[in-house]
Structure 1
Amino acid sequence: MASEMPGPVCLIENTNERLAINPEALKILASDSQPVVVVAIVGLYRTGKSYLMNKLAGKKKGFSLGSTVQSHTKGIWMWCVPHPKKPNHTLVLLDTEGLGDVEKGDNQNDSWIFALAILLSSTFVYNSMGTITQQAMDQLHYVTELTDRIRVKSSPTGNGNEDSADFISFFPDFVWTLRDFSLDLEADGQSITPDEYLELSLRLKKGTSQKEKNFNMARLCIRKFFPKKKCFIFDQPTHRKKLGKLETLHDSELDPEFLQQSETFCSYIFSNSKAKTLSGGIKVNGQRLENLVLTYVNAINNGDMPCMEDAVLTLAQIENSASVKKAIDHYSQQMSQRLHLPTETLQELLDLHRTIEKEAIEIFIKSSFKDVDHLFQKELRAKLEEKRDDFCKQNLKVSSDRCSALLEEIFSPLEEGVKQGIYSKPGGYRLFLDKTKELKKKYHQTPGKGLQAEEVLQTYLSSKESMTDAILQTDQTLTEKEKIIELERVKAESAEASAKMLEEIQRKTQQMLEDKEKSYQEHVRQLTEKIESERAQIQEEQRNILALKLKEQEKILREGFQAESRRLAEEIRNLQIEVSKPRGRCVIS
């Protein structure tokens, strides 16, 4: 976390017309690069949700408790604190406005607040008063509306309906907290745990009438959608008259049993609540949570259904673009620091390029995800190739400039001698050749010229051919035949040098092609490793969902619900097909 928040801030304000996002809250999330464990609490207003959230924050005050029949929390409030048990993790607490507030009149936004709490959290706490009665289940009708509020996939397959397996992969763990619980936990004369009590309460009722369908609806949704379910019971914290001052009371004024139950609840949340994770094992940090909030709320305000797959793809677009930039920045910085221009050989530059390119690809692969059709990796590959070519051009230019300057320095005395007529005399041509040979040797022996040494020398010598020819023609010690032979020798020497230069250009072109192929293979190698890792992660998720489905099917069959069992069997078959699908071939072209 960038800095610890002194108290909660409004994340999403419910104006009863629209949902408004607080920019200050987004800034807090944007500054947090740590994985987040997101715990959201929902329930009827005036049921003590805020007290539990303050306990999780390790504070007595923070989230507004309120002491009247008016609901205090309008929208969703957020409090980010360092996680007490997971180092380098942030605990994000989301306290929602009370459901069923009579002052609102319209419960449309209640459904959206409920849906957002599901979408954003890794642990979803449903808080209610008393026991799990049919009335308590009826108040959970928001669960039955989720499939009308949320889409998992952009384009559902088959008959257009998404099955619960799709939802399980995205949904948080479910915790039911029962406040002011006064019953003895018993069934058939035996003591039972709160979890067993929840299991019993989620049993279905046989029958085909509307009454039975209504009875079963919320229970089926909780059983089918939530991968993990837990229940906690709480005694009344203190005398009814003191409840309004709960945040000011000392622990000694609270019921010891209630205090112990609160500690047990907090300990469970700290130890068992997972970091918010997207399909494929993608861990959500503060920055990613910020983008999820924006995507979901914008969809709702535009009259669309929030789509989890779309949200992940939107997130991927933002992050993959940033990942390309991060990788390219690393490449540019490292090449500038470690490349000493000019290099003596092209291979020297290409070897360094491949080393740093590998690092850049690793940076991209590590931080990118859901790169559909490898578009961003193709962009990275093209940009790395462009950067490599730029460094090659820089290398040639630095070499050319250095060689030109060196030739001017070394050969200027010779040119000055020509101007003064030193070589325009009998035997001058031989003197000129000896001096040229001596200066060429000096040029060749000077280090640090780079790749263009021969090309720049030959270009220079070619530019002085007329001067050489003039000295040759004025040398009276040479016969006409000797002059012709000498001209042929110079021409042959020049042709040989040109052939060598052409051969060198072809060799460099071949080196560049080989480097391009090695670059492609490095991209494919790293991407293949990532695809295999992601596939293993998804298959593990699917196997876990499959195990949950098989367990649920077993329970449904025991309870005697054949039709529901057949629906589950169909979902299980679809999952088994997904798990056994062969891996596609990795191609970046």
Structure 2
Amino acid sequence: MAFGGSYAEMSAPICLINNMPDGKMVVCKEAMQILDQITQPVVVVAVVGLYRTGKSYLMNRLAGKQTGFALGSTIESKTKGIWMWCVPHPQKKDHTLVLLDTEGLGDVEKGDEKHDIWIFCMAVLLSSTLVYNSLGTIDNTALEKLHYVAELTEHIKVKSNSQNGKETYNTSTEFMRVFPSFVWAVRDFTLQLELNGKPITADEYLENALKLKPGDSLNDIRNKTRSSLRDFFAVRKCFVFERPASPKKMKDMEMLTDADLEKDFVEQANIFCSYIYSSSKPKTMRGGLGVTGRMLATLAQTYVDTISSGQIPSLDSAVESLARIQNTRAVTEAVDFYRSEMTKKVKFPTKTQQELSDIHAEIEKDSISIFIRSSFNDVEQKYQKELQTQLEHEYGELVKQNKEESRKLSRSAISRVFGPLEEEVKEGIYMRPGGYSDFCIAQEAAVQQYKQEEGLGLMSEEVLAAYLSEKSDIGRSILAADSSLTEAEQKIQDEKIQKDALEQQNKCLEEEKKIQEQLILDQQKSHEEHVEQLKNKMEEERTRNREEIQRTLEAHYKEQIQSMKEGLEERSRFMQMQIDRLQQEKCNSNNVPCLIL
């Protein structure tokens, strides 16, 4: 199963996080291996809620399948831990939709409230959209059952060094920036959506239910849940669903087609799925840092390890850990790709340096792209600089190898082509009157034969020049022994030998100069490619960061207005303080220079 640009869809869900007999959570290796293959951005939709409320059915619907996540038809909770199903995103190209079905909260047989809150926290930390599934209506009882939201500050920290529940004043804003959008799915809803005799939308129904109750203490669990939902989740959405079928039919939900279900329920389910597909954002960390499948796997492992050690997950620590692991791996994979592809595509020796340079530029571009896609929060481009250094070294070694292979083949060709001439010289054939002219003709014929040899590479002229220079004394000896030439003619021929040698040397120097100029040009192009891809990634992250800030700002504006309507002046002032700081950060983010390698 290869996840990435194209992959085989999972045929069924598998367990992502399992519950051990001792109560600890463990990330399942098979799920990690699957996520590890997903280099695409992921849209993560998690469903939470009380057990036996039909959570799994919604997940199967989102997967576009009739069956998959266990539905069950008894009072027993079927889902244990957190189960995962990865499918190609129906609407977002080159994205993977990761569906997480969580263990039902409040299972009387389990009776472990602490475990429930950690399951809830993991769903919040891993998802980009959190679906809360409940039955009946959104009333005080329903809000009491959702008390996990009010406890998030006790189980999740922004900073690793902050105390439980005693973080900075803007903790709620920090949570809102990284927490998923919140969707409340109300099942078996039988009421009319009306308020004061006027029809309202499901969203208005939710927001009305989240108004703080003046008669209750702000520390009352219901009010704490209301304020937490308003403080932590910038985007809130509500869907109400009628009962899908008769109780008798619902025992066999996995066997029912849309034709067997109530028409209104099918329509409501389709609208729900359409919203999730179109509105759920790719998973990001604070600052617009995008998350891929393999990064999600690292996050899951990091959070579970932290919880298992008795500590509280920290958003900042997760980012640091993810960056360290992911960036180290990104460098390794990019360099390995470069080595592998250069080995496949380069046939040593190349005819020219340009030929090697062109292959290098193409593969280096892809290598940088692999790193850029996989890197995460590479502060000051520390890891990208390391990649640049390693690729320069790899390329430098290939340049050396290319030259050595060329020299090796050229020397072999020299021995083969000039061998007969050397034998004739040893036999003294040319040590006679007129011998020098015949030697020159034979040597030129050997030179031309050598130059017609195929595949000698870019150092063939250098090797030839070195050989001719080495054998120049032989020519002079033959010239001196040629009694048919006058002293003046011998002098002219000797000058010609020197001139030819100088021309050959200059030709070699010119070739070497071209090679060095090409290598300098390669280095410049390499730097430009690193910078260009880095700028594109940083701009994408800045765009997501600005969207994150704007989304939070809009939520605070809305909350400030609502607080004023409810007469909560202190809360309204608090919102204004948060708005001012976000506005300043937004202004600063527009002026942040792009760090260049």
Q: Which amino acid aligns with 2:184?
A: W
RMSD: 4.1
Q: Which amino acid aligns with 1:12?
A: I
| Counterpart mapping for 1:420-435 below 5 A | 420-429=427-436, 431-435=438-442
1:147 aligned residue (148, 153, 157): 153
Distance 1:60 1:416 in 2: 84
Distance 1:453 1:86 in 2: 54
The change in CA–CA distance for 1:274 and 1:425 in structure 2 (over 3 A counts) is closer
The change in CA–CA distance for 1:94 and 1:406 in structure 2 (over 3 A counts) is closer
Query: Structure 2: any 5+ residue segments left out of the alignment?
Result: none
Could you say what secondary structure the match of 1:141 adopts?
coil
Equivalent residue number for residue 538 of structure 2: 531
Q: Which moved more, 1:459-468 or 1:323-332?
A: 323-332
Question: 2:560–2:576: 8 Å Cα contact kept in structure 1?
Answer: yes
Question: 1:524–1:586: 8 Å Cα contact kept in structure 2?
Answer: no
Question: 1:44–1:98: 8 Å Cα contact kept in structure 2?
Answer: yes
The change in CA–CA distance for 1:164 and 1:452 in structure 2 (over 3 A counts) is same
Distance 2:344 2:251 in 1: 65
CA shift, 1:382, in A, is 2.2
1:198 aligned residue (203, 206, 211): 206
Equivalent residue number for residue 170 of structure 1: 178
Equivalent residue number for residue 423 of structure 2: 416
Question: 1:11–1:77: 8 Å Cα contact kept in structure 2?
Answer: yes
Distance 1:249 1:347 in 2: 65
Question: 1:53–1:63: 8 Å Cα contact kept in structure 2?
Answer: no
2:66 aligned residue (59, 62, 65): 59
Deviations 1:379-427 (A, max 9, x none): 3322332333233223322332333233223322322222222223345
The change in CA–CA distance for 1:259 and 1:503 in structure 2 (over 3 A counts) is closer
1:392 aligned residue (377, 385, 399): 399
Q: Which amino acid aligns with 1:202?
A: L
Could you say what secondary structure the match of 1:63 adopts?
coil
Question: 2:19–2:25: 8 Å Cα contact kept in structure 1?
Answer: yes
The change in CA–CA distance for 1:358 and 1:551 in structure 2 (over 3 A counts) is same
Q: Which moved more, 1:285-294 or 1:558-567?
A: 285-294
Could you say what secondary structure the match of 1:568 adopts?
helix
Distance 2:562 2:144 in 1: 23
Q: Which amino acid aligns with 2:431?
A: S
Distance 1:399 1:148 in 2: 68
1:579 aligned residue (544, 569, 586): 586
Equivalent residue number for residue 133 of structure 1: 139
Question: 1:323–1:367: 8 Å Cα contact kept in structure 2?
Answer: yes
CA shift, 1:143, in A, is 0.8
Q: Report whether the alignment pairs 1:108 with 2:81.
A: no
Q: Which amino acid aligns with 1:586?
A: L
The change in CA–CA distance for 1:336 and 1:307 in structure 2 (over 3 A counts) is same
CA shift, 1:222, in A, is 0.4
CA shift, 1:120, in A, is 2.1
The change in CA–CA distance for 1:39 and 1:395 in structure 2 (over 3 A counts) is closer
Provide TM-score, normalisation by structure 1: 0.83
Q: Report whether the alignment pairs 1:24 with 2:13.
A: no
Deviations 1:255-308 (A, max 9, x none): 776666555545544554444444566665544433332222222112233334
The change in CA–CA distance for 1:435 and 1:561 in structure 2 (over 3 A counts) is same
Distance 2:259 2:420 in 1: 101
The change in CA–CA distance for 1:283 and 1:415 in structure 2 (over 3 A counts) is same
CA shift, 1:89, in A, is 5.8
Q: Which amino acid aligns with 2:592?
A: R
The change in CA–CA distance for 1:484 and 1:100 in structure 2 (over 3 A counts) is same
Equivalent residue number for residue 383 of structure 1: 390
| Counterpart mapping for 1:264-275 below 5 A | 264-275=271-282
Q: Report whether the alignment pairs 1:93 with 2:102.
A: no
The change in CA–CA distance for 1:32 and 1:461 in structure 2 (over 3 A counts) is closer
Equivalent residue number for residue 196 of structure 2: 188
Equivalent residue number for residue 82 of structure 2: 76
Question: 2:290–2:541: 8 Å Cα contact kept in structure 1?
Answer: no
Q: Which amino acid aligns with 1:303?
A: G
The change in CA–CA distance for 1:553 and 1:212 in structure 2 (over 3 A counts) is same
CA shift, 1:437, in A, is 4.3
The change in CA–CA distance for 1:80 and 1:435 in structure 2 (over 3 A counts) is closer
Could you say what secondary structure the match of 1:423 adopts?
coil
Could you say what secondary structure the match of 1:521 adopts?
helix
CA shift, 1:113, in A, is 0.3
Q: Which moved more, 1:455-464 or 1:217-226?
A: 455-464
Q: Which amino acid aligns with 2:549?
A: Q
CA shift, 1:356, in A, is 4.4
Distance 2:88 2:491 in 1: 90
Q: Which moved more, 1:515-524 or 1:55-64?
A: 55-64
Q: Which amino acid aligns with 2:464?
A: L
Question: 2:39–2:374: 8 Å Cα contact kept in structure 1?
Answer: no
Q: Which amino acid aligns with 1:10?
A: C
Q: Which amino acid aligns with 2:425?
A: V
Q: Report whether the alignment pairs 1:228 with 2:228.
A: no
Distance 2:48 2:570 in 1: 32
Deviations 1:141-189 (A, max 9, x none): 2112212222345678997455333222322221223345455443333
Query: Structure 1: any 5+ residue segments left out of the alignment?
Result: none
Question: 1:50–1:65: 8 Å Cα contact kept in structure 2?
Answer: no
The change in CA–CA distance for 1:316 and 1:461 in structure 2 (over 3 A counts) is same
Equivalent residue number for residue 122 of structure 1: 128
Could you say what secondary structure the match of 1:94 adopts?
strand
Question: 2:48–2:133: 8 Å Cα contact kept in structure 1?
Answer: yes
CA shift, 1:65, in A, is 3.0
Identity %: 46
The change in CA–CA distance for 1:251 and 1:67 in structure 2 (over 3 A counts) is farther
Deviations 1:214-243 (A, max 9, x none): 553211110121122122334556777887
Could you say what secondary structure the match of 2:184 adopts?
strand
Equivalent residue number for residue 464 of structure 1: 471
Query: Size of the alignment, in residue pairs?
Result: 586
Question: 2:86–2:98: 8 Å Cα contact kept in structure 1?
Answer: yes
Equivalent residue number for residue 40 of structure 1: 46
CA shift, 1:452, in A, is 2.3
Q: Which amino acid aligns with 1:541?
A: E
Equivalent residue number for residue 299 of structure 2: 292
Q: Report whether the alignment pairs 1:436 with 2:447.
A: no
The change in CA–CA distance for 1:46 and 1:430 in structure 2 (over 3 A counts) is closer
Question: 1:29–1:289: 8 Å Cα contact kept in structure 2?
Answer: yes
The change in CA–CA distance for 1:302 and 1:475 in structure 2 (over 3 A counts) is same
Equivalent residue number for residue 411 of structure 2: 404
The change in CA–CA distance for 1:503 and 1:22 in structure 2 (over 3 A counts) is closer
Distance 1:62 1:121 in 2: 18
